Structure 1
Amino acid sequence: MFTKTLNVLLLCLTSLSLIATAKPIASNDLNVMPLMNGQMLPSAKVANLKGETLDLLSLTQGKPSIIFFYRGGWCPFCNSQMGQLKEIEPKLIEMGFQLIGISPDSPEKLNASMIDQKLSYTLLSDTNLNAMQAFGLAYYTSEKTTERYMKKLKLDELLKVTPQGDKRLVLPVPAIYISDGTGLIHFQYVNPNFRVRPAPQLIEMAASLVPM
């Protein structure tokens, strides 16, 4: 009886360790604590192109998904990646996946990206950082980076106060997550170097290994 109870307890603890909880905003891009393979997609409130609030978990329920986080439509490296994903989207759909992009851009800016790049996959707004923190990707940029970006871009909604009382720009570390229909993460690519993104061939290969 004791052994059976202990096994159940261990199983519960293991399951709990795989459940994601929202993480605090990291002090910099090297200190983020992203979700890993074997964990479950989290619940997070985001907004669609119309500004309507949705739960990311409900959008992925029963649907194998490829979710990518990008810094915004103002980032040339992000735009390049979005174009690459557009090229392989038909193959991903044929494999049974839906493609979802998440950024701190407002719904208005997302609509502009959809039109400019002629995208057909889903883009979601995370201006409140809910998804970025749930995935452990949000971080404070440095004072120098904050000042440089704020001079060129209108990103006031992404200015947050650090624990030290400084105003800093908050961005996500670019990332790719591939999950099955149950929400289990099978592949993740997180790189603090925002200039480096996974090759489309790598994403296709990783997706092909996910049991459907």
Structure 2
Amino acid sequence: MGDLNTDLADLRVAVAEHVPAEVAPVLKADREKFVGLVAEAAVKPGAAMPDFTLPDAGGARVRVADGPAVVVFYRGAWCPYCNLALRAYQQELLPELENLGVKLVAISPQLPDDSLSTKELEFAVLSDVDNELGRALGITFRQDPKLKPTFDALIGDVEKINGAREWELPYPTVLVVDGEGVIRYIDVHPDYTTRTDPADVLAAVKALRGNASQ
């Protein structure tokens, strides 16, 4: 079993080595804007999870506030850091969560047809088109329009992938929602190359059981 933080650090090095020379400084400058940033607008523990139902890859609607649940926001299937984290959560979190009776849900602003395939992931992958839920949670931001040509060259038209006119993305975020639909834990990562450690998520989930018994 790998260590997510180590794997993310290795990926940062690999990305820096393999992107075109003219793109590397643009990506580096973009990331550095977010390092150390705090998402002050993000919802705080104790708030109710907004009552949204979002479509999965097959078009079925899922009510996000139905807990207990771990809810993972990611930027999109085009983001290698997101893919690495989601697969780590599947390997390290999903079996434990299933044993605890807690569901795992991943959410991005991508259209349902462009979300990560359910063949790859064994948990629900939902589409927050236009970032309505992410915005309600205070975890979205708008990219600098000047960077769009660089990203389009690397991954394709982000707005088309997301089916949205605004180039808005969620910060990578993990929330733990209890059985009453209340957010008990939130961890927001403005630096998109870092993610919540699976051990921290499990600790937050296990704390739910302690709170429920009090």
TM-score, structure 1 as length reference: 0.73
Q: Secondary structure, in 3 states, of the residue corresponding to 1:176?
A: strand
Deviation at 1:156, TM superposition (A): 2.2
- Find the aligned partners of 2:107 and 2:81 in 1 and give their Cα distance: 15
Instruction: Kindly report which structure 2 residues correspond to 1:113-128, keeping only aligned pairs within 5 A, or say none.
Output: 113-115=117-119, 118-128=120-130
The one-letter amino acid of 1:49's match is: A
- Find the aligned partners of 1:105 and 1:121 in 2 and give their Cα distance: 16
Which position in structure 1 is the counterpart of 2:206? 208
- 2:79 equivalent among 75, 78, 88: 75
Deviation at 1:81, TM superposition (A): 0.6
RMSD: 2.2
Which position in structure 2 is the counterpart of 1:50? 58
Which position in structure 2 is the counterpart of 1:134? 136
Is it true that 1:41 corresponds to 2:49 in the alignment?
yes
Which position in structure 2 is the counterpart of 1:143? 145
Q: Secondary structure, in 3 states, of the residue corresponding to 1:209?
A: helix
The number of aligned residues is 172
Q: Secondary structure, in 3 states, of the residue corresponding to 1:133?
A: helix
Which position in structure 2 is the counterpart of 1:108? 113
- Find the aligned partners of 1:102 and 1:173 in 2 and give their Cα distance: 11
- Find the aligned partners of 1:56 and 1:188 in 2 and give their Cα distance: 15
- Shift in CA distance, 209/53, structure 1 to aligned 2, threshold 3 Å: closer
Which position in structure 1 is the counterpart of 2:195? 197
- Find the aligned partners of 1:32 and 1:107 in 2 and give their Cα distance: 29
Contact 2:173 2:186 in 1 (8 A): yes
Which position in structure 1 is the counterpart of 2:157? 154
The one-letter amino acid of 2:159's match is: D
Moved more, 44-53 or 90-99: 44-53
- Shift in CA distance, 103/38, structure 1 to aligned 2, threshold 3 Å: same
**Structure 1 unmatched ranges of 5 or more:** 1-27, 162-167
Deviation at 1:64, TM superposition (A): 0.4
Contact 2:69 2:102 in 1 (8 A): yes
- Find the aligned partners of 1:32 and 1:125 in 2 and give their Cα distance: 24
Instruction: Kindly report which structure 2 residues correspond to 1:82-101, keeping only aligned pairs within 5 A, or say none.
Output: 82-87=86-91, 88-101=93-106
**Structure 2 unmatched ranges of 5 or more:** 1-32
TM-score, structure 2 as length reference: 0.73
Deviation at 1:32, TM superposition (A): 5.9
Aligned residues with identical type, % of pairs: 24
- Find the aligned partners of 1:36 and 1:89 in 2 and give their Cα distance: 25
Deviation at 1:75, TM superposition (A): 0.4
Select the structure of larger CA radius of gyration: 1
Q: Secondary structure, in 3 states, of the residue corresponding to 2:152?
A: helix
Deviation at 1:198, TM superposition (A): 1.2
